C-alpha cells in the first residue's frame, strides 16, 4: 500500500490543447479517492497519467514516496481495472488471473495460492475458474478483471469507469462489491466515474473535475451540503439542485426570487451582500409543502413522477418558468395544474454569484 501525491500536474497535447490544469492532491495510504465529472473533463486522462500510460507535461507525481514521472507502468506497482475488462478471450479465468504472475516468474504454488485467494474474495467458484470469459456474465467478467488486479498485490488500485458497461441492477451490486473489497484490503484506490451516485457511495473523498480543473475536493457530504460552485451544486445530487435567478434586497433581509415573490433571509442584513443578483440553490428535498402557511410560495405543478418510495413533483413559481423539483417520500396525490403552497428550508439554501459562479457565504 502507498500514498499518492500529485503536485501541479498538467497535461498539454502537441496541438496545444491543455487537458489538465495544475492538479494538486495528496491521497493517503488506504484512501479511496473518486475522480468525478462529465465526459471530457479530464478524469480518465489524469488516471492514465498516474498509471504511466500518458506522460506528464509538467508537475511532480509520487507513489509511495517515489517520484514516478519517468517510470514505466510496470515499475509503478499499480494495478488497473478497465471499463471493457481487457481479458484474454482464449484463456480460462484462472489463466487470465495468473498470467501476470507467470510473467514475473513466481513459483506455481504461490500463483495458485494467490489466484485461489482472490477467487474466494470475489466469490468466483472453482468451476468458473475453468471457463473462458465469453462464458461469464458481465458482472463475473468484471470480478475476474478485479481478481487479476488483486493477485498482483499492488500498492495502488486504479479503476477506469469499471461499471459503465453493466446494467443498472448489476451496477448497484458491483458497486457494493468494490466498496467491500476496498474496505477489506485497505489498498489505496483511485476511481474514475461520470456517475455521481457511484462517486457519493464509494469515495472517502471526491475530486470534481471540470474542463481539466479541480472544482472541489472533499468528502461526499461536504460537496453535497456545501458545494463550492454552481457546477458542483448542479453535478452532485440526483435530482439536481434547483437553481433560481434571484436578487438580494437593498437591506439584505429579503431575496426576490420570482415576479413579486419574496423570501425573508433569516441571516440577512450583511452589508457585503445587499442589492445584488444571485443564483439561489435549494435541493429538491429542501422544498417542502407548507399547508397554506402565510409565507408559502405558490408552485404550479407541471409534471408528477411516482417512484413508489418517493414522489418527484416538477413545477415553477408564478410566471417564472424556471424548472423546480420537490422530492417527497411516499406517494403524493397531486397532478399537473395544481398549485402547491411551498416553503424553502432557510437552513438549506445556497447562494452563488452569477458571474463567477462561486459560492456566496452570508
Residue pLDDT, tens place only, 147-185: 999 999 899 999 999 888 888 888 888 898 889 888 888
Q: Which long-range contacts (CB under 8 A, 24 or more apart) does 312-319 make?
A: 312/239, 312/284, 313/340, 315/340, 316/258, 317/244, 317/257, 317/258, 317/259, 317/261, 317/342, 318/258, 318/259, 318/260, 318/261, 319/258, 319/259
- Are 220 and 199 within 8 A, CB to CB? yes
> Where is mean pLDDT largest: 85-94, 258-267, 315-324?
85-94
Looking at residue 77, what is its pLDDT? 92
Q: Average pLDDT, whole number, for the chain?
A: 90
Q: Are strands 4-12 and 156-160 parallel, antiparallel or unpaired?
A: unpaired
Return the DSSP state at 92.
-
What nine digits make up the cell of 5? 501525491
Residue with cell 519517468: 70
Question: How many CA atoms lie within 13 Å of 250's alpha carbon, on the beta-carbon side?
Answer: 0
Most distant CA atoms of the chain, gap in Å: 78
Residue 90, pLDDT > 80, answer: yes
Looking at residue 259, what is its pLDDT? 63
Q: For the beta carbon of residue 73, count every other beta carbon within 10 angstroms.
A: 15
What nine digits make up the cell of 358? 462561486
Looking at residue 315, what is its pLDDT? 94
Which of these, 81, 48, 34, lies nearest to 192 by C-alpha position? 34
Residue 269, pLDDT > 60, answer: no
Query: Span 4-235: which CATH code?
Result: 3.40.50.300
- Fold (topology level) of 242-360: OB fold (Dihydrolipoamide Acetyltransferase, E2P) (2.40.50)
Question: pLDDT (tens digit, 9 = 90+) per residue, 170-228?
Answer: 888 889 888 988 888 899 999 999 998 899 999 999 999 999 999 999 999 999 999 99
Residue 270, pLDDT > 60, answer: no
Looking at residue 82, what is its pLDDT? 86
Question: pLDDT (tens digit, 9 = 90+) per residue, 293-343?
Answer: 666 888 999 999 999 999 999 999 877 778 899 999 999 889 999 999 998
Q: What are phi and psi of 165, to 5 degrees?
A: -90, 0
The residues, ordered by sequence, that sit 6+ positions from 104 with a Cβ below 8 Å of its Cβ are: none
Same fold across 4-235 and 242-360 = no
Which DSSP string do the residues of 32-51 spell out, in sequence order?
EEEEE-STTSSHHHHHHHHH
Q: What is the mean pLDDT of residues 125-142?
A: 92
What nine digits make up the cell of 237? 445530487
For residues 55 and 19, give the distance between their C-alpha atoms in angstroms, rounded to a whole number. 12
Looking at residue 42, what is its pLDDT? 94
Residue 268, pLDDT > 70, answer: no
Looking at residue 171, what is its pLDDT? 87
Looking at residue 281, what is its pLDDT? 95
For residues 22 and 16, give the distance between their C-alpha atoms in angstroms, rounded to a whole number. 15
- Are 69 and 236 within 8 A, CB to CB? no
Question: How many CA atoms lie within 13 Å of 179's alpha carbon, on the beta-carbon side?
Answer: 13
**How would residue 265 be classed by pLDDT, with cut points 50, 70 and 90?**
confident
- Are 350 and 241 within 8 A, CB to CB? yes
Q: Are strands 205-210 and 287-289 parallel, antiparallel or unpaired?
A: unpaired
Looking at residue 292, what is its pLDDT? 61
Strand order in 213-218's β-sheet?
Answer: 78-81, 156-160, 188-193, 32-36, 205-210, 213-218
Residue 11, pLDDT > 70, answer: yes
Q: For the beta carbon of residue 337, count every other beta carbon within 10 angstroms.
A: 9
Domains in the chain: boundaries: 4-235, 242-360
Query: How much of the chain, in percent, has pLDDT values that exceed 90?
Result: 66
Question: How far from 236 is each of 72, 242, 247, CA to CA, in Å?
Answer: 35, 12, 24
Looking at residue 252, what is its pLDDT? 79
The residues, ordered by sequence, that sit 6+ positions from 15 with a Cβ below 8 Å of its Cβ are: none
**How would residue 271 be classed by pLDDT, with cut points 50, 70 and 90?**
low
Looking at residue 327, what is its pLDDT? 95
Dihedral, 136, 137, 141, 147 alpha carbons, nearest 10: -80
Amino acid at each position: 500500500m502507498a500514498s499518492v501525491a500529485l503536485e501541479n500536474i498538467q497535461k498539454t497535447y502537441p496541438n496545444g490543447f491543455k487537458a489538465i490544469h495544475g492538479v494538486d492532491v495528496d491521497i493517503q495510504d488506504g484512501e479511496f479517492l473518486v475522480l468525478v465529472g462529465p465526459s471530457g473533463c479530464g478524469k480518465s486522462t489524469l488516471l492514465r497519467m498516474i498509471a504511466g500510460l500518458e506522460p506528464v507535461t509538467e508537475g511532480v507525481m509520487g507513489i509511495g514516496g517515489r517520484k514516478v514521472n519517468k517510470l514505466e507502468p510496470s515499475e509503478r506497482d499499480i494495478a488497473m481495472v478497465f471499463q471493457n475488462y481487457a481479458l484474454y478471450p482464449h484463456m480460462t479465468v484462472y489463466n487470465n488471473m495468473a498470467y501476470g504472475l507467470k510473467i514475473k516468474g513466481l513459483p506455481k504454488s504461490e500463483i495458485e495460492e494467490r489466484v485461489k485467494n482472490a477467487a474466494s474474495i470475489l466469490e468466483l467458484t472453482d468451476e468458473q475458474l475453468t471457463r473462458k470469459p465469453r462464458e461469464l456474465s458481465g458482472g463475473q467478467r468484471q470480478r475476474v478483471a478485479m481478481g487479476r488486479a488483486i493477485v498482483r498485490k499492488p500498492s495502488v488500485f486504479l479503476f477506469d469507469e469499471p461499471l459503465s458497461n453493466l446494467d443498472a441492477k448489476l451496477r448497484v451490486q458491483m458497486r457494493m462489491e468494490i466498496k467491500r473489497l476496498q474496505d477489506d484490503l485497505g489498498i489505496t484506490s483511485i476511481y474514475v466515474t461520470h456517475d455521481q451516485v457511484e462517486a457519493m457511495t464509494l469515495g472517502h473523498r471526491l475530486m470534481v473535475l471540470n474542463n481539466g480543473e479541480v472544482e472541489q475536493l472533499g468528502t461526499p457530504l461536504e460537496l453535497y451540503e456545501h458545494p463550492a460552485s454552481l457546477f458542483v451544486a448542479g453535478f452532485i445530487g440526483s435530482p439536481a439542485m434547483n437553481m433560481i435567478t434571484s436578487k438580494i434586497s437593498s437591506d439584505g433581509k429579503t431575496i426576490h426570487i420570482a415576479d413579486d415573490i419574496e423570501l425573508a433571509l433569516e441571516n440577512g442584513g450583511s452589508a457585503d451582500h445587499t442589492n445584488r443578483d444571485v443564483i439561489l440553490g435549494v435541493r429538491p428535498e429542501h422544498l417542502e409543502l407548507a399547508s397554506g402557511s402565510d409565507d408559502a410560495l405558490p408552485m404550479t405543478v407541471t409534471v408528477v413522477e411516482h417512484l413508489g418510495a418517493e414522489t418527484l413533483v416538477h413545477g415553477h413559481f408564478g410566471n417564472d418558468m424556471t424548472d423546480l423539483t420537490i422530492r417527497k417520500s411516499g406517494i403524493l396525490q397531486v397532478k399537473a395544474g395544481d398549485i402547491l403552497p411551498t416553503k424553502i428550508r432557510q437552513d438549506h439554501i445556497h447562494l452563488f454569484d452569477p458571474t463567477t459562479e462561486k459560492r456566496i457565504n452570508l
